[in-house]
Chains A and B, each alone.
Chain A
């Protein structure tokens, strides 16, 4: 318990550090949001408009950095991430809220599925070395060496197009109103198939490879020989003895990848113009939409931290050696 509290304290500190950096970094960038807007309108704004923009963004008052920092925190704690420039006047929290569901659903499901399939195949390949599953390894390694986005482009070129079942972009049929009905969900699923497979194909082999190699390492351990000598059924030796131990390093990798779900697989979302968080971040960068960028970074940071905490907890649950008594 003490161990756990110490970890939680550590994560709180890290979160504070991340949020503080998130506050300072945009302020270190030369220029300010108003100037970037002015340049976007190429000087066609008059002085009054500029002044009102400064007031709107709260940049008119001469506040010290410290005051701004305190205010930033109080706004943050109220869930106020500011207004987005590109989706003006929508607040950033709303923009993030709209897109995060798309990303978490698409990348979340594919990450979990990829981990499950990869681990299972890895166990098989490692346990029956030289079998057909083991023979798949070079092929999957080849697929994993292809970048996500390139695989996505290929998929669009080959499978999508006019008259094809697979749409090439977007998250749902334009014109449909997002709702929990069969039309919308059907369309969303249809739109997610290509991006999902793109992610799945390129990420699954990482899991296969690491699980397989851990299985091979663990299979040489003395306790596996003992399990064989005990005359335990092959399945039990493979699962309860070998796979159970081989899984440990993979679990932390999995928890970390859960953290990156929220960041989305940026390039896949861009290629498929998928309305997720990664696509949003891309647009925010293009439009110098600082509040949105800041908000997205914040969400990514926090979710990576949460995933780390999850990894710690999973390890405590799975490996008795990490538990400390008392």
Chain B
């Protein structure tokens, strides 16, 4: 859990506030999250339904993602958090059909709702349709900022080849103008167009990748730990930029990270993954104030708040489960401080806790908060 605990003190400043103003309004994380109003209409744009992803086939298959239901709504930032190996990246790769072998999607649907037109299942697209879908509808910013750019091609070429592939027939000048515009969007001077990746810093490269992700104005941008390799100052800059761009361009973000403190600050909703399943999903303020699943609670307790009483950082005892031999019942029960009778026998279904007030939009998979209406 050390990766969760470290670095978070430096980043617990709300977004939308210029760097250096920490002293004037020291952030109280209670009040900090959700700088943006949640979208007015909760209109889905990407629905992951009952997705199962395995590594390998047959009996030796490792079930990395199991029965995941997750809905990304128009214009929102949905955070996906969990320990290493919890299946968050696999979920993203699976939903975009980028799984490297031996990854196999063994079931489920990924329904995409285009701006106009009928929703369709991404997993059922033909290779040609899939190529047209990629980047134009859903783009991805990958973990390795350093290695996401082709080292032998200029930035401009890598920005324009994707535009050319999707909208053929644009003039050279139009492509170049667009590339310049994209760099401007992420705050990189236009004279870097003819630079090669190795001539840019890590932060610049990641911003180029974000600019590239917006090249075709997709509705969904998936970010797989986009700032993990960067220092905290650069992380903050990039995230603030991202939030600003989202306000202007109105795309939705699926933000994957192991760093829950980051999500508490600027995600609208947060889903917590454990052992390949979603164990809790809630608006970030609700999750931060009142997490229901003991695992979410443990994650939240493993980084310090900037203000407020000092408390012990507890972390979560034990280590992530071995996906090849998952415990029976709730996969968290061997590490759970609150485990009781049914936990090691029956798998708790994910659903809105029956005790919660009507109209609340959160789900949890825990016997402490049993549900009467499981999702899916």
Which residues of A are interface residues toward B (Cβ below 8 A)?
220-223, 225-233, 236, 240-241, 244-245, 248, 318-321
B9 within 8 A of A: no
Whether B149 lies near A223 (C-beta < 8 A) is yes
Main secondary structure of the interface of A (DSSP, over half): helix
B119-174, CB < 8 A from A: 130-136, 139-140, 142-144, 147-154, 161-162, 165-166
Once the chains are docked, how many angstroms separate the CA of A227 from the CA of B135? 10
Least distance between B228 CB and chain A CB atoms (Å): 13
* Binary interface encoding of chain B residues 34-67 relative to chain A, with 1 for a CB under 8 A from any of its CBs, else 0: 0000000000000000000000000000000000
Q: Which of A232, A318, A320, A321 contacts B162 (CB 8 A)?
A: A232
Q: Which of A222, A228, A320 contacts B147 (CB 8 A)?
A: A222
B78-111, CB < 8 A from A: 96, 98, 100
Whether B135 lies near A231 (C-beta < 8 A) is yes
What are 5 A-B contacts defined by CB distance under 8 Å? A225-B98, A227-B150, A232-B162, A244-B150, A244-B152
With A223-B149, A244-B153 known, 6 other A-B pairs at CB within 8 A are A222-B142, A225-B98, A228-B98, A229-B142, A230-B161, A231-B166
Residues of A within 8 A of B152 (CB): 244-245, 248, 318-320
Residues of B within 8 A of A220 (CB): 100
Whether B134 lies near A230 (C-beta < 8 A) is yes
Which residues of B are interface residues toward A (Cβ below 8 A)?
96, 98, 100, 130-136, 139-140, 142-144, 147-154, 161-162, 165-166, 196, 198, 209, 212
Most chain A C-beta atoms within 10 Å of own C-beta, residue among B131, B136, B150, B153: B150
Q: Which 10 A-B pairs have the closest CB atoms?
A: A231-B134, A222-B147, A320-B196, A230-B162, A231-B131, A222-B144, A223-B150, A230-B135, A231-B135, A229-B140
Whether B142 lies near A320 (C-beta < 8 A) is no
Residues of B within 8 A of A318 (CB): 152
Most chain A C-beta atoms within 10 Å of own C-beta, residue among B98, B133, B152: B152
Closest A-chain residue to B149, C-beta based?
Answer: A223
Known A-B contacts A241-B150, A245-B151; the reply to A226 vs B132 at CB < 8 A is no
Whether A321 lies near B151 (C-beta < 8 A) is yes
Once the chains are docked, how many angstroms separate the CA of A221 from the CA of B152? 13
Closest B-chain residue to A241, C-beta based?
Answer: B150
Once the chains are docked, how many angstroms separate the CA of A180 from the CA of B147? 54
Once the chains are docked, how many angstroms separate the CA of A229 from the CA of B132? 10
Whether A223 lies near B165 (C-beta < 8 A) is no
Least distance between B225 CB and chain A CB atoms (Å): 12
Once the chains are docked, how many angstroms separate the CA of A240 from the CA of B152? 9
Closest A-chain residue to B165, C-beta based?
Answer: A232
Whether A240 lies near B148 (C-beta < 8 A) is no
Most chain B C-beta atoms within 10 Å of own C-beta, residue among A229, A240, A245, A321: A229
Once the chains are docked, how many angstroms separate the CA of A108 from the CA of B162? 40
Once the chains are docked, how many angstroms separate the CA of A192 from the CA of B252? 66
Once the chains are docked, how many angstroms separate the CA of A225 from the CA of B162? 13
Whether A231 lies near B98 (C-beta < 8 A) is no
Once the chains are docked, how many angstroms separate the CA of A58 from the CA of B96? 80
Whether A229 lies near B147 (C-beta < 8 A) is no
Residues of B within 8 A of A222 (CB): 142-144, 147-148
Q: Which of A226, A231, A319 contacts B165 (CB 8 A)?
A: A231
Known A-B contacts A226-B148, A229-B96, A229-B139; the reply to A240 vs B153 at CB < 8 A is yes
Most chain B C-beta atoms within 10 Å of own C-beta, residue among A226, A236, A319: A226
Least distance between B84 CB and chain A CB atoms (Å): 18
Once the chains are docked, how many angstroms separate the CA of A230 from the CA of B147? 15
Least distance between B53 CB and chain A CB atoms (Å): 16
Once the chains are docked, how many angstroms separate the CA of A324 from the CA of B319? 47
Least distance between A320 CB and chain B CB atoms (Å): 4
Once the chains are docked, how many angstroms separate the CA of A321 from the CA of B151? 8
Once the chains are docked, how many angstroms separate the CA of A65 from the CA of B336? 88
Closest B-chain residue to A318, C-beta based?
Answer: B152
Residues of B within 8 A of A245 (CB): 150-152
Most chain B C-beta atoms within 10 Å of own C-beta, residue among A221, A230, A320: A230
Least distance between B136 CB and chain A CB atoms (Å): 7
Whether B142 lies near A226 (C-beta < 8 A) is yes
Whether B161 lies near A232 (C-beta < 8 A) is yes
Closest B-chain residue to A223, C-beta based?
Answer: B150
Most chain A C-beta atoms within 10 Å of own C-beta, residue among B100, B130, B143, B212: B100
Once the chains are docked, how many angstroms separate the CA of A232 from the CA of B360? 42
Once the chains are docked, how many angstroms separate the CA of A232 from the CA of B152? 17
Once the chains are docked, how many angstroms separate the CA of A97 from the CA of B133? 62
Whether B198 lies near A320 (C-beta < 8 A) is yes
Residues of B within 8 A of A233 (CB): 131, 165
Whether B132 lies near A231 (C-beta < 8 A) is yes
Closest A-chain residue to B222, C-beta based?
Answer: A229
Least distance between B207 CB and chain A CB atoms (Å): 15
Whether A230 lies near B165 (C-beta < 8 A) is yes
Closest B-chain residue to A320, C-beta based?
Answer: B196
Residues of B within 8 A of A236 (CB): 161, 165
Closest B-chain residue to A229, C-beta based?
Answer: B140
Whether B150 lies near A321 (C-beta < 8 A) is no
Closest A-chain residue to B93, C-beta based?
Answer: A225
Least distance between B141 CB and chain A CB atoms (Å): 9
